[in-house]
Structure 1
Amino acid sequence: MRAVFGLVLIVGIALAGGAVYMARNYISAYQAELARERLAAQEALANAQVEVIPTVSVIVSNRLLKYGEKLAQEDVRIVDWPENAVPEGSFLEMTALFPETANGDRYVLRTMEKDEALMDVKITEPGEKAGLTSRLEKGMRAFAISVDVASGVSGFLRPGDNVDVYWTGSLRGIVDGAEGEITRLIQPKIQLIAVDQTAGSDVTGATIARTVTVAATPQQVASLAQAQNTGRLSLALVGVEEEAVATATIEVDQKSLLGIVDVAPAPKKAPKQVCTIKTRRGGDIVVTEIPCTN
């Protein structure tokens, strides 16, 4: 009996010792893994370099601003803007946007979304109204052109677009031998500043306009006025990426449209020369044909 008891005691002590050994190995491995992860995190933090981007204060819109609205201080706010990405002409200080010596209010010239930077080209000068005069550059004039759904590009014209102006009319009475009508490009890439009574660029959808207003030099105004009174004007919308301006004469008449080529008339045959002599025989005169010698 004592032998059995001693054997059980020995087995129990052996099992307990194995369990302690396994637990100690597990704890040691866990602590080693934890220390390795902590060291890796410290190395990653030490190697990490945080890039600091320099910023400047820029005034932006605090809400949606539409063409013609009066600009107030509660409509704008100051935000930090990356220094290397500040749009040219932006306002950096409230005193520049709302100077104490201002002789009137500022007005919005272009639609601006919330948080869009305010620039001098988007608002008027203090005291200046948001009319067509503020959209005309020095030396330019505003001229209205009558259009319809066909000549006005189906109503898709917007202020700020560029268009080519074509004239269609007859040259009868002006050019000798002129027949039919011709169409000629008379003013390439001219800018629209208003469509009907709208000068803002926030027009949505197609608008069938009756008139469009363009910015033109006095010489261009004279040409457009003469063209509008002597024929029909049509507009062609110019793409935003189009930089070239047509310099060659572009003209189409009915013959070139249909591919008709003028054929020179066949030369007329010279009449046959007949030489004769007249001989009197008694009371009669006889005409006799002879060969021509000259």
Structure 2
Amino acid sequence: MLVTAMVLGLFAVFIARFFVGPSGAKTTPETQTVAAVVAAQPFAFGEKITADKLKIVRWPAAGIPAGTFQRIADAVGSDERVAMRSIDTNELVTVNGVSGKESRMSASQLLGPTMRAASIPITESSAAGGFVAPGDRVDVYVTRDPGDEQYPYSDLIVQNVRVLAVGQDSNVAKDKPEIVKTATIEVSPLQAQKLALAATVGTLSLSLRNILDESQVRLETAQLLDLNDGTVTRILSKPKRSADAPQQVAAAAPAGGPRPTDGRPTGPSVEVFHGNKPSYHSIPSGS
């Protein structure tokens, strides 16, 4: 029993030295950190970036995102940068959160790498009553009235596009509706081409959609006959005037009735065109 106890004791000492180490505690590698600029006070959208509202903290090197600043002077810059969005206290200040090298707010920084910014005219009724705000997702419709060729119709041309700005306001923290004249949306080059054409031939309108709804729907062209809830209706079309309509009217007029106001005779006649101007000549009876 004594020998067994000594063997177990020696084994325990060996295990402790192997796993714990000679110092009596397991050593862990020191976490490497780097300097990073964060907001000492919150910044509102469009507010100037100043040194007194910034501070430097130590940030784990393995977890720091790209585009951060290591010096306050670099974050402030020499061209009066402003906040492109709201920045909270102790939040990292990045190049995507402040304006670029120019001394103005550049909307191009809000675009995706291959996307375009297109502005369309809107009104209170065509922009969800002013509730469309930067950061929202919308669908765009075009409504046309071709005149005598066709009846008016409406088509869905782009879906689920992001609103970059309403008017000249691109603050995603905007919390009050506002009536403006234009909306700027993020679209692909092909969608920008469609919008440019649609704006010249019809009226554009926005439809606000749920921010979580990413579905793509396929809608048929909506025409006048579709403006009901499915109830069967009877629509009468306007009669088309044919080329021989004046002769038909003249033949249908009674012999003793009133003479037409355009100079046509009430009896048998010959219609002669000189260019686009018609003239009428009566045919004597018995001829």
TM-score range, shorter chain: 0.5 to 0.7
Query: Bigger shift: 106-115 or 121-130?
Result: 121-130
What is the one-letter code of the residue matched to 1:154?
Answer: G
Alignment partner, residue 121 of structure 1: 96
What is the one-letter code of the residue matched to 1:162?
Answer: R
Q: Deviations over 1:104-142 (max 9, x none)?
A: 443321121222222332123344631323334445443
1:63 aligns with 2:41: yes
Alignment partner, residue 52 of structure 2: 74
Alignment partner, residue 94 of structure 1: 71
Distance 2:148 2:187 in 1: 29
Distance 1:85 1:227 in 2: 47
1:202 to 170, 173, 178: 173
What is the one-letter code of the residue matched to 2:117?
Answer: A
Measured on the aligned residues, the alpha-carbon RMSD in Å equals 3.5
Q: Deviations over 1:155-190 (max 9, x none)?
A: 12222222100112235555xxx43x2222111122
1:251 aligns with 2:207: no
Alignment partner, residue 158 of structure 2: 187
Query: Bigger shift: 108-117 or 56-65?
Result: 56-65
- Mapping 1:15-34, distance limit 5 Å: none
* 1:230–1:96 Cα change, 3 Å: same
Contact kept in structure 2, 1:103 and 1:127, CA below 8 Å: no
Q: Percent identity?
A: 25
Contact kept in structure 1, 2:67 and 2:96, CA below 8 Å: no
What is the one-letter code of the residue matched to 2:71?
Answer: M
Alignment partner, residue 133 of structure 2: 158
Alignment partner, residue 110 of structure 2: 135
Distance 2:177 2:196 in 1: 27
Secondary structure, counterpart of 1:245 in structure 2: coil
- For structure 2, which runs of at least 5 residues remain unmatched after alignment? 1-29, 235-287
1:80 Cα shift? 5.1
What is the one-letter code of the residue matched to 1:129?
Answer: R
Distance 2:31 2:177 in 1: 44
Alignment partner, residue 257 of structure 2: none
Alignment partner, residue 195 of structure 2: 224
Distance 2:59 2:214 in 1: 31
Secondary structure, counterpart of 1:74 in structure 2: helix
Alignment partner, residue 249 of structure 2: none
* 1:173–1:128 Cα change, 3 Å: farther
Alignment partner, residue 270 of structure 2: none
Secondary structure, counterpart of 1:143 in structure 2: strand
What is the one-letter code of the residue matched to 2:110?
Answer: R
Secondary structure, counterpart of 1:65 in structure 2: coil
TM-score of the pair, normalised by structure 2:
0.58
Alignment partner, residue 48 of structure 1: none
* 1:254–1:97 Cα change, 3 Å: same
Alignment partner, residue 186 of structure 2: 215
Contact kept in structure 2, 1:68 and 1:109, CA below 8 Å: yes
TM-score of the pair, normalised by structure 1:
0.57
